[in-house]
Chains A and B, each alone.
Chain A
Amino acid sequence: ETGVTQTPRHLVMGMTNKKSLKCEQHLGHNAMYWYKQSAKKPLELMFVYNFKEQTENNSVPSRFSPECPNSSHLFLHLHTLQPEDSALYLCASSRDRDTEAFFGQGTRLTVV
């Protein structure tokens, strides 16, 4: 266990659904991240939060909406997704932007 917990582990949703992914860490880290991992492609950084403030949005479509209510929790709200959004979504945290990131187990998302 890395100390970063993601729920749910698996999610199947229709294109008209709204769902949320949750990430939680109690490592005292100040930076949190959302990554997307598709088959045979490198990990793609989606969003970065540092001290609860979004510091990076790597051209992610607006159907993905992150929320960071405090330094321990990070959400990814999903709505009107497309089948090509099916992937493993990984959350990570680090003490700060310069130190090692610890990853959660990921949420396997399937859009039907």
Chain B
Amino acid sequence: KNQVEQSPQSLIILEGKNCTLQCNYTVSPFSNLRWYKQDTGRGPVSLTIMTFSENTKSNGRYTATLDADTKQSSLHITASQLSDSASYICVVRNSGTYKYIFGTGTRLKVLA
């Protein structure tokens, strides 16, 4: 069954600290994996996209990793800022059906 599971569901950290969000998937066959950031009441915005051959990709303070063997991805946020408070959604595309499978997201809150 094609599923995407994210953990933790929610996370609170202090400004300046690092954190790592997890995404495990059972989607097969795999095409690509995207991380989106969604501010409250707004649409998701893409952070990174990773294909089968990519292990790490960075976008500023955001670094995504992908282990296609274990079907796991992580999003690491360095030196968190208040503006990082948002939901982070992992999306995996099935290369057979071309469908996108969305995770439920991790809600991150950064406190001053």
Do A and B pair up? The answer is yes
Tell me the A residues contacting B by CB distance below 8 Å.
Answer: 2, 4, 6, 40-45, 88, 90, 92, 97-98, 100-106, 108
On chain B, the residues within 8 Å of A88 by CB distance are 41
Q: Is the CB of A103 within 8 A of B41?
A: no
Residue on B nearest A6 in the bound complex, by CB: B43
User: Chain A: interface secondary structure?
Assistant: loop
Contact among B42, B98, B104 for A42, CB-based, below 8 A:
B104
The answer to whether B89 and A43 touch across the interface, beta carbons within 8 angstroms, is yes
Residue of A nearest to B103 (CB): A42
Find chain B residues with CB under 8 A from A105 CB: 41-43
Chain B interface extent, by class: 10 to 19
Asked if A106 contacts B42 (CB within 8 A), the reply is yes
Write the residues of chain B forming the contact surface with A, with a CB cutoff of 8 angstroms.
Answer: 4, 34, 41-46, 49, 89, 98-105
Asked if A90 and B43 sit within 8 Å, CB to CB, the answer is yes
B102 adjacent to A2 (CB under 8 Å): no
B89 proximity list for chain A (CB < 8 A): 42-43
Taking CB as reference atom, which chain B residue is nearest A43?
B102
Residues of B within 8 A of A90 (CB): 43-44
Of all chain B residues, which has the CB nearest A56? B99
Given contacts A100-B34, A100-B46, contact A41 B41 (CB under 8 A): no
**Chain B residue with minimal CB distance to A33?**
B100
Specify which chain A residues have a CB less than 8 angstroms from the CB of B102 in the assembled complex: 42-44
Give Cα distance in the complex from A109 to B4, angstroms: 26
Q: Do A41 and B104 touch (CB < 8 A)?
A: yes
A41 to chain B: which residues have CB within 8 Å?
A: 104
